[in-house]
Amino acid sequence: MSENIHIVIVDDHPLFREGVASILGNEPDFEVVGQGATAEEAVRLSIDFLPDIILLDIDMPGNGIKAARDVAAVCPVTKIVFLTVSESDDNLVEALKAGGRAYILKGVAGRELIRILRVVNEGESYLPPALAASLLLDYSQTRRHEKSEANPLGELTERERQILELLGLGMSNKEIGAKLFLTEKTIKHYVTNILQKLQVHNRVEAALIAQKRAIRRDDQGY
**Overall average pLDDT of the 130-156 stretch:** 60
pTM of the predicted model, to two decimals?
0.64
The model's pLDDT over 79-123, given as tens digits with 9 standing for 90+, comes to 999 999 998 888 988 998 899 999 999 999 999 999 999 999 998
Write the DSSP symbol of residue 4: P
Q: SS3 for 137?
A: helix
Residue 162 has pLDDT above 60, yes or no: yes
Q: Helices marked H in the chain — which ranges?
A: 14-25, 39-49, 64-74, 89-97, 110-121, 129-143, 158-168, 173-180, 184-198, 203-213
Q: How far apart are CA 54 and CA 50, in angstroms?
A: 9
Helix axes of 184-198 and 203-213: crossing angle, nearest 10 degrees? 70
Residue 27 has pLDDT above 80, yes or no: yes
Q: Which of 46, 65, 66 is nearest to 54 (CA)?
A: 46
**CATH numbers and ranges of domains, the chain:** 5-126 (3.40.50.2300), 135-213 (1.10.10.10)
Counting beta carbons within 10 angstroms of the beta carbon of residue 13, is it exposed (0 to 12), middle (13 to 18) or buried (19 or more)? middle
